[in-house]
A = this chain, B = another copy of it.
Amino acid sequence: MKALEDKIKAEGKVYPGKVLKVGRFLNHQIDVPFMAKLGEEFYNRYKDDNITKILTVEASGIGIACLTAQFFNVPVLFAKKSKSKNIGDDCFVVQVTSYTKGIVSDVMIEKELLGPEDRVLIIDDFLANGCALEGLLSLCKLAGATVAGAGIVIEKAFQDGGARIRAMGVRVESLCRVKGMSLDGGVEFYED
């Protein structure tokens, strides 16, 4: 998606360790009007798939998930990374490794909120090594829900997550696919 690639080139920053910082518009500050356009693009790609629920994981997936859900007129369910008093005891739980935080953590959803009647679109801001997406796929499997596919804002296509998950037969739609980046700020994309 050309508008997204331009936005990343204009406002993104490359940090050591192949970290692409897009906190000006995606995962710290959220450029809501721009994100709504990305949500509409996800809708265009999945509108014929009878989506009943959008699933994401806290925290940075929530904004784009909500702005996407409006087009589908369905609820968002966000998986939680820690147990709080606000979540019940009867949960599906899987373990996920965070690339940006370098830790393994539980990710959970309440059982009563996802089931075999659901057709799920998974939305997330990044796809890199694929651990978060695999965790969400596992939660859907535990719930018996059908996964229509995933919608990713930025895929770091030089890491293996996208290829591995597509090889599992999961449809993954990424709005841009990063081929490589350099510390002088250059970001290269695969052409669609």
Query: Nearest chain B CB to A185's CB is how many angstroms away?
Result: 14
Q: Kindly report which residue of chain B lies nearest to residue A74, judged by CB atoms.
A: B32
Count of this chain's copies in the oligomeric assembly: 2
Query: Nearest chain B CB to A142's CB is how many angstroms away?
Result: 16
Q: Kindly report which residue of chain B lies nearest to residue A26, judged by CB atoms.
A: B86
* Neighbouring B residues of A77 by C-beta, 8 Å: 28-30
Q: Are A30 and B86 in contact (CB under 8 A)?
A: no
Tell me, in angstroms, the Cα distance from A63 to B82 when the chains sit together. 18
Q: Are A32 and B69 in contact (CB under 8 A)?
A: yes
* Neighbouring B residues of A98 by C-beta, 8 Å: 84
A110 contacts the other chain (CB 8 A)? yes
Tell me, in angstroms, the Cα distance from A56 to B33 when the chains sit together. 17
A170 contacts the other chain (CB 8 A)? no
Listed from nearest, the 5 A-B pairs whose CB atoms lie closest are: A58-B59, A59-B59, A32-B69, A62-B62, A85-B100
A-B contact pairs, 22 of them (CB 8 A): A19-B86, A25-B75, A28-B78, A28-B87, A28-B109, A28-B110, A28-B113, A29-B77, A30-B62, A30-B69, A31-B75, A32-B69, A32-B74, A32-B75, A33-B70, A58-B59, A59-B59, A63-B65, A63-B76, A84-B98, A84-B101, A85-B101
